[in-house]
Chain A
Amino acid sequence: MITIVTLHFLAAAVAPALVRRLERRTFLLLALVPLGSFLWLLGQAEAAFDGDVRTERMRWIPTIDVRIDLALTPLNAVMALVVTGVGALVLFYCRWYFREGDREMWRFSAVLTAFAGSMLGLVVSDNLYVLFVFWELTTVLSFLLIGHNPERKANRRAAMNALIVTTFGGLVMLLGLFVLGHEAGTARISDILASPPEGTATTIAVLLILVGAISKSALVPFHFWLPGAMAAPTPVSAYLHAAAMVKAGVFLVALLAPAFSDIPGWRPLLLGTGILTMVIGGLRALRQHDIKLLLAYGTVSQLGFLIAVVGAGTRAAMFAGLALVLGHALFKSALFLVVGVIDRSTGTRDLRELTGLHRSLPVVFAATVVAAASMAGIPPLLGFTAKEAALAAFIDLGPDADLGVWGPVALVGLVVGSTLTVAYTARFVWGAFGVRSVTPPTVTPQRVGFVIAPVLLAALSLVGGFAGGFLTPRLLAYAGDAPPGAHEPVLTLWHGFSPALGLSVLAITAGLLLWVARRRVAALQRRVVEGLHVPDAELVYHGVIRGVDRLSIEVTGRTQRGSLPVYVGIVLLVLVVIPGIALAQAWDGVRLRGPDNLLQVAIVIVVVLAAVLTVRSRRRLRAVLLVGVTGYGTALLFVAHGAPDLALTQVLVETFSVVTFVLVMRRLPPFFSDRPFTSARRIRVAVGCLVGLAVGGYALLAANARTARPVGLDFAEPAYDYGGGNNIVNVTLVDIRVWDTFGEIAVLVVAATGVASLIFLLTDRATSHRESRRSRADDKDSGWLRGAGLIADRRRSVVFEIVARIVFPVLMIFSIYLTFAGHNLPGGGFAGGLIAGLALMVRYLAGGRAELDSAAPVDAGVVLGSGLVIAALSGVVPALLGYNAFQSGIFDIPTGLFGYEVHLVTSLFFDLGVYLVVVGLALDVLRSLGGGIDKQGEEKGEIETDTGEVAIA
């Protein structure tokens, strides 16, 4: 089963490509998928009806024990046959329905096929969550189908309505599914049905699930989305209304009915909404002029009927319900397809403009009469036998389901609904094929293939009427386990002068009378609707949506003021207030001690001074240099604490970032923009002091609260044994907490790419170094640094160039040494990469951007990418070899020289990746914030160029 479902999705994936080549003939190919599935299911179904249920299980998400469970129970088999059979015919029909060269066909073909696959998956799923996934897939795909033509506002709105209503129902249902799965202890539907859980939670869960079913099947009060769904192309309406989507709700009710129909609330809810929907849908269908819309309201009415019968939950009713599902699928799809033929032949669907079609489209007319008779419940058709069974079931509903007086009430509702059904069926046939005194529309002749599908479906309705003996045991297999009722249900054309037959005759006669008196009925309806101010469900729904929109605007407008300082201030104040309360309560017993050494005191004084001066400074560069002082001070504090790795990294980072700051600041105005000394500044200072004191308090308290031995001190042994290194901090980075580090270098890659894209915008940063390589070819002699020739002589410094030239290789070698040595001594990929970055920076500062390109003639993106790839590989390769991801291997490789061995730990490769990422970041920063800004300055003529012109600075 998983295979045929998957096949649908594969077909959907290739459909757009096929459409390009085969045009409309694609649909013939696509129809083969549901057709093949139908034939396969036909073979499997017989076993299912005999009680041999085929099941399939697949692992899906083992960590939360979710599996893909599929099963072919008798119910599933009937539904799956309907879904695939009608699906095949609808796709076949699309071949002629669409016009030559329709530009939306590629999308439509894919979505419709995927929709068919989702629907098939839904009706064969045997797991609550799998069912939900397919359920939501049909919701999303039906949104796309209904919104097929987004040019009309009404269509967009119809699609949104369908999406919102069915998603709302789906979410409510999901809640119910979770609770049900939890109560039952399993998500497998067959297990839940075999031993249904009991209790209040289960009752609520099932009722929540029913809300989902009611919304999907368009019952009152959610019925308004279904008529809007006619915005979809007619074949979709045929499929959506007859075999798919709306049938999902019926399916769900039918699925749960055997186990849960006796829980409180089930029957009142389903019988009440079902019969109400049946009557309302019928009444509204009588008011329509568009025959497609008429059918759509007819579907609403029929769905109410189906849900009421299936939901009644007695053996006879469930049997009749399934028979009705089958009958409805056949006649409703046939009728919609007929509407499509009429629409394509005449160009209109308005019954006031149609006349005399029974002469020009005789075959279609015959098919319509048969299918419509089935809808009205006229013998000898499947619709008649199924409705007889339903009426018989409802006659015995009182005693069977212990409903007392409500049984006859439901029966009366059913008969009223059936009467209306007969009336709107008559209206449909008369409307489509009747004779009126209007100009007959010109009828375009259609190909034979176009009418095959509706004719075949209508014929099946006829065959089904006579096949009662064949269908009865098979459909009964679904309801088989339910307790027997007052009578044994059966599908037959003749079972004597029974009360059911009497009611059928009554409904048909009354319905025809309603149709004969249609003008008076219509006038009466109009008067009642206008007189009583019946609330329109769609208007109520739009009122709700409007209210939600207004509420969100009010809430957003009150809370989102749009000012960054205010937002940050609120965040920071929360940081002060909420943990601050806890701080005040726990303040007792904080013990202080003096400085570890005098060096700390001296450094702290400098840092404090620098920090205060930074805030006060109005010049950008001064602020940058002062913040650098705090950074170096922090590095010294690291040294005093005994953290050489931190100190090393901090110094390098601080140097790099100060230079980067300067590179950018040289182009910005020298002063910060003016901020008059206002109350706002006082507030900022107050918030700053509060936050500072709070954070200091938290630090004190956190340190004091620490009583256990730090876990980090126990890292020493594993660091050596498993990580193969002496430098515990480095082993922690590349082995013990390697996932962290991997995440971090990914962030660095993103940041570097962001920097480059902000400066170079649309131009590819990869081209910048190639450009300069080209210009270097015709370079004049440029002394110590080749790239420096681009800089005006006046701004060159020979001493700096010489130093840069000499220092660069030394620094590069040192950076590589640091990376390799980092496992045992202070250093590692970060420090090494930063040193290399500084080396490049020296070259750039001495020789400009061309010199940077000659020092590193590679694209920064390549360096970043290869670093990330190497780091990832060092995690993947051990996993592929059967170890844990990122597990270190330790090898001692003899070199053959004096018995000396090279101690190689594979985490070195990860560190190399880190090294490359940091170098790439440095390269990107220098190329963008250095070279990129230079270039943009030159283009504006504000920086001296090689050619010697000095522009106005």
Chain B
Amino acid sequence: MATNYVLVIAIVVLVACGTVLVLERSLSRILIGFVMLGNGVNLTYLVASGPSGDAPIIGMGSGEMTDPLPQAMVLTAIVITLGVTAFGLALAYRAWQLTGHDDVQDDLEDDLVRRRADLDHPSASFDDIAAGIPDEEGEDQPSEPTGVSDDELAAEIEAEDAHEEAAATRSQWVDPRDRDTTRHTPPDDTTTEEGR
């Protein structure tokens, strides 16, 4: 069965542009890309379902009918995309509320795990200390944890990130309109205090 290359061009462009957007960090861009990817993928169903024809409604038209099964699948896909987009928008809005931007940040937990691997640490919940004798009553005396806790690692990473970010802002031009102030709180002005 020969294929309609015009539709294929549309698919290629829609999927390519959608992918580029989905690979972004801004959640709104990701969602826009997601919608576009959805359109492209829905068109692949159209291409794969054969040549165009009459609407698959009995008693309408006299020629060959188009295949109704892919259409039913695409119809559900369209509506699902709407639901997922709405959910993603709510997420983007919530992210903006909390952080002042809607960029997807690197996962801190994953970063912690990576750091542990570099330092050859066991996981935070792993406990190597001799535990004493089990008994049905009584409780432990609180003891010093041996390993490095997540909090300590997180503080370490944050300090490093701040350092890198400072270096990045110095070297690259940033549109002043986009610089969101929430993330870069100016250091406390200590001179006034000293002046007192």
- Measuring CB to CB, which residues of chain A are less than 8 angstroms from any residue of chain B? 148-149, 151-155, 157-158, 228, 230-234, 290, 293, 542, 546, 549-550, 552-554, 556-558, 560-565, 568-569, 572, 590-596, 600-601, 603-604, 607-608, 611-612, 614-615, 620, 623-624, 627, 630-631, 633-634, 637-638, 640-646, 649-650, 653, 656-657, 660-661, 664-665, 667-669, 671-676, 684-685, 687-689, 691-693, 695-696, 698-700, 702-704, 706-707, 710-713, 715-716, 719-720, 726-729, 732-733, 736-737, 740-741, 744, 747-748, 751-752, 754-755, 758-759, 824-826, 830, 834, 918, 921, 925, 928-929, 933, 936
- A-B contacts, 20 listed (Cβ < 8 Å): A549-B123, A550-B122, A564-B107, A572-B19, A607-B14, A608-B13, A641-B46, A643-B74, A649-B79, A650-B78, A657-B35, A657-B85, A664-B90, A671-B178, A696-B11, A707-B1, A716-B65, A719-B68, A727-B56, A758-B91
- Please give, as numbers and ranges, the residues of chain A lying within 8 Å of B17 by CB-CB distance: 611-612, 614-615, 688, 692
- Please give, as numbers and ranges, the residues of chain A lying within 8 Å of B66 by CB-CB distance: 641-643
- Please give, as numbers and ranges, the residues of chain A lying within 8 Å of B86 by CB-CB distance: 657, 660, 751-752, 755, 921, 925, 929
B87 to chain A, nearest CB (A): 5
B104 to chain A, nearest CB (A): 5
B35 to chain A, nearest CB (A): 5
Q: Are B71 and A729 in contact (CB under 8 A)?
A: yes
Q: Are A699 and B8 in contact (CB under 8 A)?
A: yes
Q: Which of A607, A644, A665, A755 contacts B13 (CB 8 A)?
A: A607
Q: Are A752 and B83 in contact (CB under 8 A)?
A: yes
Question: Told that A293-B133, A637-B46, A673-B180 touch, could you supply 4 new A-B pairs with CB distance under 8 A?
Answer: A152-B134, A642-B65, A673-B102, A712-B70
Q: A604 vs B178: C-alpha distance in the bound complex, in angstroms?
A: 34
Report how many residues on chain B are interfacial, defined by Cβ distance under 8 Å.
125
Q: Are A157 and B51 in contact (CB under 8 A)?
A: no
Q: Are A684 and B82 in contact (CB under 8 A)?
A: no
Task: Judge whether B52 is part of the interface by a CB distance below 8 angstroms.
Answer: yes
Task: Judge whether B162 is part of the interface by a CB distance below 8 angstroms.
Answer: no
List the A residue with the shortest CB-CB distance to B174.
A674
Q: A834 vs B79: C-alpha distance in the bound complex, in angstroms?
A: 9
Q: Are B25 and A553 in contact (CB under 8 A)?
A: no
Residue of A290, A692, A693, A751 with highest tally of chain B CB at under 10 A: A692
Q: Are B132 and A154 in contact (CB under 8 A)?
A: yes
Q: A729 vs B75: C-alpha distance in the bound complex, in angstroms?
A: 9
Q: Are A562 and B114 in contact (CB under 8 A)?
A: yes
Q: A653-B81, A672-B26 are in contact. Are A716 and B58 (CB under 8 A)?
A: yes
Task: Judge whether B165 is part of the interface by a CB distance below 8 angstroms.
Answer: no
Total A-B contacts with CB atoms under 8 angstroms apart: 434
A103 to chain B, nearest CB (A): 13
- Please give, as numbers and ranges, the residues of chain A lying within 8 Å of B60 by CB-CB distance: 726
- Please give, as numbers and ranges, the residues of chain B lying within 8 Å of A569 by CB-CB distance: 23
Q: A627-B35, A643-B55 are in contact. Are A556 and B117 (CB under 8 A)?
A: yes
Task: Judge whether B139 is part of the interface by a CB distance below 8 angstroms.
Answer: yes
Task: Judge whether B154 is part of the interface by a CB distance below 8 angstroms.
Answer: no
Q: Are A684 and B71 in contact (CB under 8 A)?
A: no
A944 to chain B, nearest CB (A): 20
B85 to chain A, nearest CB (A): 5
Q: Which of A695, A726, A826 contacts B12 (CB 8 A)?
A: A695
Q: Are B6 and A604 in contact (CB under 8 A)?
A: yes
Residue of A157, A234, A572, A615 with highest tally of chain B CB at under 10 A: A615
Q: A830 vs B71: C-alpha distance in the bound complex, in angstroms?
A: 13
List the B residue with the shortest CB-CB distance to A751.
B83
Task: Judge whether B164 is part of the interface by a CB distance below 8 angstroms.
Answer: no
Residue of A151, A634, A693, A759 with highest tally of chain B CB at under 10 A: A634
Q: Are B46 and A638 in contact (CB under 8 A)?
A: yes
Q: Which of B52, B78, B92, B127 contacts A596 (CB 8 A)?
A: B52
- Please give, as numbers and ranges, the residues of chain B lying within 8 Å of A936 by CB-CB distance: 97
Q: Which of B2, B39, B92, B134 contacts A158 (CB 8 A)?
A: B134
B27 to chain A, nearest CB (A): 9
A342 to chain B, nearest CB (A): 14
Q: Which of A593, A691, A736 contacts B5 (CB 8 A)?
A: A593
Q: Which of A640, A646, A715 contacts B52 (CB 8 A)?
A: A640
Q: Which of B3, B20, B32, B101 contacts A688 (CB 8 A)?
A: B20
B52 to chain A, nearest CB (A): 4
Q: A688-B23, A712-B68, A830-B79 are in contact. Are A693 and B172 (CB under 8 A)?
A: no
B127 to chain A, nearest CB (A): 7
Q: Mark B92-107, 1 if CB is under 8 A from A, else 0.
A: 1110110001111011
Q: A720 vs B122: C-alpha distance in the bound complex, in angstroms?
A: 65
Q: A231-B136, A684-B24, A747-B83 are in contact. Are A759 and B90 (CB under 8 A)?
A: yes
Give residues 91-148 of B contacting A (CB, 8 Å).
91-94, 96-97, 101-104, 106-111, 113-118, 120-123, 126-129, 131-140
Q: Are A231 and B57 in contact (CB under 8 A)?
A: no
- Please give, as numbers and ranges, the residues of chain B lying within 8 Å of A826 by CB-CB distance: 55, 57
Q: Are A554 and B83 in contact (CB under 8 A)?
A: no
- Please give, as numbers and ranges, the residues of chain A lying within 8 Å of B20 by CB-CB distance: 615, 684-685, 687-688
Task: Judge whether B7 is part of the interface by a CB distance below 8 angstroms.
Answer: yes
Q: A729-B68, A825-B57 are in contact. Are A741 and B123 (CB under 8 A)?
A: no
- Please give, as numbers and ranges, the residues of chain B lying within 8 Å of A751 by CB-CB distance: 83-84, 86-87
Q: Are B49 and A691 in contact (CB under 8 A)?
A: no
Q: Are A748 and B79 in contact (CB under 8 A)?
A: yes
Q: Are A744 and B35 in contact (CB under 8 A)?
A: no
Q: Which of B13, B16, B69, B101 contacts A715 (CB 8 A)?
A: B69
- Please give, as numbers and ranges, the residues of chain B lying within 8 Å of A550 by CB-CB distance: 120, 122
Q: Are A623 and B136 in contact (CB under 8 A)?
A: no
**Which 10 pairs of residues, A with B, have the shortest CB-CB distance?**
A692-B16, A557-B117, A562-B110, A712-B69, A151-B139, A231-B134, A688-B20, A751-B83, A562-B107, A696-B12
List the A residue with the shortest CB-CB distance to B122.
A549
B103 to chain A, nearest CB (A): 6
- Please give, as numbers and ranges, the residues of chain B lying within 8 Å of A704 by CB-CB distance: 1-3
Q: A153-B132, A642-B52, A676-B174 are in contact. Are A590 and B3 (CB under 8 A)?
A: yes
Q: A661 vs B69: C-alpha distance in the bound complex, in angstroms?
A: 31
B125 to chain A, nearest CB (A): 9
Q: Which of B14, B24, B178 contacts A565 (CB 8 A)?
A: B24
B133 to chain A, nearest CB (A): 6
A733 to chain B, nearest CB (A): 5
Q: Which of B90, B122, B137 contacts A928 (CB 8 A)?
A: B90
List the A residue with the shortest CB-CB distance to B16.
A692
Task: Judge whether B9 is part of the interface by a CB distance below 8 angstroms.
Answer: yes
Q: A834 vs B41: C-alpha distance in the bound complex, in angstroms?
A: 22
List the A residue with the shortest CB-CB distance to B81.
A653
Q: A614-B36, A623-B29, A637-B43 are in contact. Are A153 and B110 (CB under 8 A)?
A: no
Q: Are B89 and A728 in contact (CB under 8 A)?
A: no
Q: Are B131 and A675 in contact (CB under 8 A)?
A: no
Q: Are B39 and A631 in contact (CB under 8 A)?
A: yes
Q: Are A728 and B56 in contact (CB under 8 A)?
A: yes
Q: Are A824 and B57 in contact (CB under 8 A)?
A: yes
Task: Judge whether B80 is part of the interface by a CB distance below 8 angstroms.
Answer: yes
Q: Are A676 and B26 in contact (CB under 8 A)?
A: no
- Please give, as numbers and ranges, the residues of chain B lying within 8 Å of A698 by CB-CB distance: 44
A530 to chain B, nearest CB (A): 18
- Please give, as numbers and ranges, the residues of chain B lying within 8 Å of A614 by CB-CB distance: 17, 21, 32, 36
Q: A655 vs B179: C-alpha distance in the bound complex, in angstroms?
A: 32
Q: A696 vs B17: C-alpha distance in the bound complex, in angstroms?
A: 13
A641 to chain B, nearest CB (A): 4
Q: Are B57 and A699 in contact (CB under 8 A)?
A: no
A168 to chain B, nearest CB (A): 18
Q: A557 vs B112: C-alpha distance in the bound complex, in angstroms?
A: 8
List the B residue with the shortest CB-CB distance to A683.
B23
Q: Are B6 and A553 in contact (CB under 8 A)?
A: no
Q: A732 vs B109: C-alpha distance in the bound complex, in angstroms?
A: 45
Q: Are A700 and B55 in contact (CB under 8 A)?
A: no
- Please give, as numbers and ranges, the residues of chain A lying within 8 Å of B117 by CB-CB distance: 553-554, 556-558
- Please give, as numbers and ranges, the residues of chain B lying within 8 Å of A642 by CB-CB distance: 52-56, 65-66
Q: Which of B57, B107, B136 contacts A726 (CB 8 A)?
A: B57
